[in-house]
Amino acid sequence: MIDKSIIGKEYAPFTVEVEKRWVRSFAEAIGDASPIYFDESIARAAGYRSLPAPPTFPFAMIMDANQSFMILDQLGIDKRRAMHGEQSFVYHADLCAGDVVTGRQRVVDVYDKKNGALEFLVTETRLENQRGEHVCDLRTTVVVRN
């Protein structure tokens, strides 16, 4: 069982640079052909500083920074028993190529269902850009099968 005393634990900040190549590759991978993700002049004409990141891009950022796996490793959870259960995003500002984003993740809940057969680990991650602007909050639920 996941020890509920982990609720409230904050992890060390991590930093990720949002690169144009990464934004383009992500948009292509999700099948979004909007030119704002590929042509900087079109993105700027639409009011962005550079290529905007697609809406679910921050989850790729936290995965690239090994945030989900880091927690599972620290808790000694076999990753083969864990799966991504739910994800939500609340945006406060644009996330664009060229931004250097710092995130800080904390555990906000741990609960179980089916008499402990399923455990749920819920985290929230706050992202800020290099200008100190609050960009996005992510809420992630990982399900662990016992």
Domain range annotation of the chain: 4-19+53-145
Q: Note the pTM of the prediction, 2 decimals.
A: 0.91
Beta bridge partners of 42: none
CA distances to 26, 48, 52, 54, 95 from 31, rounded to whole Å, are 9, 21, 15, 11, 19
Binned at pLDDT 50, 70 and 90, residue 1 comes out as confident
In tens, the pLDDT along 75-104 reads 999 999 999 999 999 999 999 999 999 999
> Buried b vs exposed e over 1-14: b needs ≥16 C-beta within 10 Å?
ebeeeeeeeebeeb
Residue 82, by phi and psi: left (phi above 0), alpha (psi -120 to 50) or beta?
A: beta
Query: 56 forms bridges with which residues in the sheet?
Result: none
Going by CATH, does the domain composed of 4-19+53-145 fall within 3.10.129.10?
yes
